[in-house]
């Protein structure tokens, strides 16, 4: 009887260690990773707006929403001969698509230009 009890507690302790270890080992999206991904998307937006006079794009800041989601602001700057210098700000959310840490989903807010 004592041997069964020792075996059962050992199995339960191992199972708890595995479950707790896998929960804490879940991948997280760091702010630095999200900022690098946002910088790539900002450059893509700049290239798409090149005909409108866009000449540079930056990511001024990012902040964490939760463990797998980070929001960033994109800024695109340009010059138009008729309107002069302009700037557009766009909020973007970078989210891990699956728990394995591969693939990201991007959501864009409304652009504000001036």
- Residue spans of the domains in the chain: they are 27-113
State pTM to two decimals.
Answer: 0.73
The Cα-based distances of 45 to 40, 71, 78, 86, 90 in angstroms read 9, 17, 12, 15, 10
CB of 54 within 8 A of CB of 76?
yes
Share of the chain above pLDDT 90, in %: 63
> Confidence class of residue 27 from pLDDT cuts 50, 70 and 90?
confident
CATH 3.10.450 fits 27-113, yes or no: yes
């Amino acid at each position: 009887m004592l041997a069964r009890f020792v075996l059962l507690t050992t199995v339960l302790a191992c199972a708890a260690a595995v479950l707790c270890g896998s929960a804490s080992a879940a991948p997280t999206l760091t702010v630095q990773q999200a900022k690098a991904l946002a910088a790539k998307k900002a450059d893509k937006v700049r290239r798409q707006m090149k005909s409108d006079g866009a000449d540079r794009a930056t990511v001024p800041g990012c902040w964490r929403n939760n463990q797998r989601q980070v929001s960033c602001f994109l800024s695109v700057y340009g010059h138009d001969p008729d309107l002069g210098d302009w700037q557009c700000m766009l909020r973007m959310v970078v989210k891990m698509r699956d728990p394995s840490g591969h693939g990201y989903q991007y959501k864009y807010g409304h652009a504000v230009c001036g």
